[in-house]
Amino acid sequence: MYSKKSLPVVAIAAFLFGFSCTLCQAQQPVNNSSQSTEAAPNDYNDLDFKIEKWQKELNIPNVGLVVIDKDKLVKAHVYGNARNGQPAPKAMLFEVASVTKVVFATLVLKLVQDGKWNLDEPLCNYYIDSEVASNVYSKKLTTRHVLSQQSGFDNWRWMNASGKLTFNFEPGTKFNYSGEGFEYLRLAIEHRFHKSLAKLSDSLLFRPLHMNSTSHEWDGKKDFALYSGMYDAEGKEIVKNDYSVQSSAAAGLTTTVNDMSKFAIEVLNGAHLSGKLYKEMVSKQAYINPNINQGLGWRVINGLPNYEYALQHAGNDPGVASIIVLLPKSKRGVVVMTNADNGLIMCNNIVRAAFPEGSQIIYKAYKSAPISEEPKRMSLATEVLMSRTGNFKRADGAMVTVTLKGSQLVLRMSGIPDLYLVPESEDKFYLLDLDAKVFFTKDQNGKITSVSIQDGGNVIKCDKVGN
């Protein structure tokens, strides 16, 4: 959920997972029963057994699933129980975190299609944030820059040392994931049309598609019995005094499996955009890495079998994780919505199991190196693994634990999914669906003194606490 209450935890996840690539990385366990296997084409019924099994192992109370095959809805189901103990209703409300961005992008492109908005008109004609008003780049920022994640902003302004909105580079010159950019565009559109995002989306997108249970804002009270709630990695509910959701273009959308199936089918069928505009949406607007490019709103994964490509976006906040993957040429799609920190693992497992090319999609979505360069897993003795377990403390005082689950080390940090560590050597580990590396440091006596998580140039060092 986009809320100031959750920002400190989200900041941790942002630093760890490299928001320059995505808000929503996740990885699956190796060599235990939570590891998914690819399903044969159209073998969707087998997902029921797998998902229910993964729910128990990953402490995820509810999973919302949409499966589309050959442009037809073949499954829309919610797994788990409601708070009253009854089977979860299909109308259960989920938050989808950053998947909100592709819904918002679709609204914007519909405005462009109708001639009411221009992709390349400077946003300063309608709105300028006072914190960047003196910067010449504020006169250059356009909708295309925002939807292609080339706004020049950090993900959120509070990540800057000053706490203020800042252009880090000229808009349109390179990729950098930014929720601020989407919020900037939202404000420009609201100023232009003198309507809130919620009202614009309801009239132009949700009502025409009969997405009657979807909204960009929620008072936290209406239909609360249908709300999925939020749970941490241990399955403990995250209780809040205020469940309301502020209107945002970057996160916080509340929706259902039925509504998301309608949205997915709309996009697969061209979203009522002209062929030219749709092609712009799915074409490379910005380069991310050799495996994935940024389109307008969507991540675009090319090089799949049978000349297929995938449109993908995912999202996570504490207690919320979701993903949408669409294959336009074969008219297939999967949407997953979950209500727990470990939901990202579930999302990736399901994509792998739902599509024959699922493993390729997930790898390309989250890894920057070619598949051929994936490190080889080393087998370590149980005694070696056990010596690396224990409690560690980050510089800010937050606790990090490393435990042994089966034959695999698991790192746990509040507000993010469990990280299953795959050994390259005794002290160096990698993550299947993240570029991040994990290193253990020893003293001269061979005793573990710290564990460090490295993502690009960012390093989180956590010192060992106790024996």
Write the pLDDT tens digit of every residue in 129-181. Answer: 999 999 999 999 999 999 999 999 999 998 888 899 999 999 999 999 999 99
- Note the pLDDT of residue 224: 94
> Is 184 within the bounds of a domain?
yes
Contact 141, 150 (CB under 8 A): no
Contact 26, 348 (CB under 8 A): yes
77 and 53 inside one domain = yes
Could you read off the pLDDT of 309-334 as tens digits, one per residue? Answer: 999 999 988 899 999 999 999 999 99
Confidence label for 5 from pLDDT (cuts 50, 70 and 90): very low
> Which ranges of 59-124 would DSSP assign to H, the alpha helix?
100-113
Confidence label for 27 from pLDDT (cuts 50, 70 and 90): very low
Q: Find the domain containing 442 and state its range.
A: 382-465
> Is 112 within the bounds of a domain?
no
**DSSP H or E stretch at residue 463:** strand 458-465
Of 328, 353, 373, the domain-final residue = 373
> Is 116 within the bounds of a domain?
no
> Is 75 within the bounds of a domain?
yes
240 and 316 inside one domain = yes
Residue 121 scores a pLDDT above 80 = yes
Question: Which of these, 368, 364, 406, 360, lies nearest to 385 by C-alpha position?
Answer: 406
Measure CA of the first residue to CA of the last residue in the chain; give whole Å: 38
Query: For the chain, what is the domain count?
Result: 3
Instruction: State the average pLDDT for the chain.
Output: 89
282 and 204 inside one domain = yes
Higher pLDDT, 108 or 369: 108
Range with the poorest average pLDDT among 108-122, 180-194, 341-355, 452-466? 452-466
Amino acid at 440: F
> Is 115 within the bounds of a domain?
no
216 and 286 inside one domain = yes
> Is 85 within the bounds of a domain?
yes
> Is 306 within the bounds of a domain?
yes
